[in-house]
Amino acid sequence: MKILVLNLQDARPQTLFSDERLENIHRLIDMGCFGELKGDASDWNVLARQENHTLSLLEFLEQADKQCASFDDFSALRSKLDAGDWDYCQLSDSGLKNASSHAGSGSADDYLRLDWELDEVLQYLGDDTIIAVVGEGCFVLVSANNPISGEHKEGSTVDIAPTLLELAGYPLPAATEGKSWVAGMELKNASSGLTAEEEEILRERLSGLGYI
């Protein structure tokens, strides 16, 4: 399965979850699970850590020879999605960071812009894509095989990466910092991230990095 992460920096849960005008955000909420997160908001991409190196979700998938790309604007992301040659994409949008409203929480127009951009992105996606929207201490997660629905409590930012990999069918390194929310649960549909040969190659690479 493909993975798309939209890191909407500084997007607050009280707005994402409560503002009914954000039709596309609420469409995803109704389709999947959502909730607030404990921990540093910047750790959503962390899979495992050593003293001198942090294994990110992006690097893990690059080690698995998957087609990965990261973007800082929606236009470039849409072009990549339209081309279709990708396995993992992540976008970091800081459109709320410098907003003029109190505490940098963003104005209604800023959130509506993000919701409109999300609508445009969704046109390129199918059921084979896992979608994660990550905000300031909050998330929305949609996957066709996700057994969790509704509000998910007690989650941490470092749980995002292992959960996405588990849903996509990838093996997790033993040193994974967070925990997959779906570990040990029966997924709704079978998913396959790697062949047995590809999994062995990935394990060798992770071992070389010290994560297995």
Q: What is the pLDDT of residues 83-123, one digit of tens each?
A: 999 999 999 987 765 443 434 444 568 899 999 999 999 99
What does the DSSP assignment read for 180-210?
-TTTTSPPSS---S--HHHHHHHHHHHHHHT
Q: Total structural domains in the chain?
A: 1
| CATH number of the domain residue 97 falls in | 3.40.720.10
Q: State the Cα–Cα distance between residues 27 and 169, nearest whole angstrom.
A: 25
Average pLDDT in the 37-60 region? Answer: 93
pLDDT tier at 154 (50, 70, 90 boundaries)?
confident
Average pLDDT in the 135-144 region? Answer: 96
Give pTM, 2 decimals: 0.91
Q: Domain range holding 73?
A: 2-209
